[in-house]
Amino acid sequence: MATTLQRPRKKKETTDGTTRGSPWNTLLFNCNCHTFEDVARQLMKAIRVSYERGMALANVVHTSGKAVVYTGHRERCEAVAMVLEEIGLLTKVVQ
């Protein structure tokens, strides 16, 4: 049985100092003004996860102060942030 080795792909560097091609992240910050249940339900709506996964993410946000709750294209990350902000959650979209 022959095996083929794949060369690791080189990260394309940009010459203008930008980070084009890098994924975007939606960060959710902890605040004590929402219940875990509220956060979990809003995460279900924003990123289409189960209630259990939403609770797990809410726990990470609570214990760490913040967490990346979504990674993808900038427009989708911004849309996720908008849904989370509907109930006053604190978010930030970063690259």
The per-residue pLDDT for 16 is 43
The per-residue pLDDT for 85 is 98
The per-residue pLDDT for 5 is 56
- Per the structure, the complete domain to which residue 48 belongs is given by 30-94
Query: Can you name the residues that pair with 70 across neighbouring β-strands?
Result: 26
Could you report how far apart the first and last alpha carbons of the chain are, in Å?
Answer: 42
Instruction: Give 21's DSSP letter.
Output: T
The per-residue pLDDT for 15 is 41
Q: Is residue 18 part of a domain?
A: no
In tens digits, the chain (95 residues) has pLDDT values of 555 555 555 544 444 444 567 899 999 999 989 999 999 999 999 999 999 999 999 999 999 999 999 999 999 999 999 999 999 999 999 99
| The total number of structural domains that make up the chain | 1
Q: Is residue 2 part of a domain?
A: no
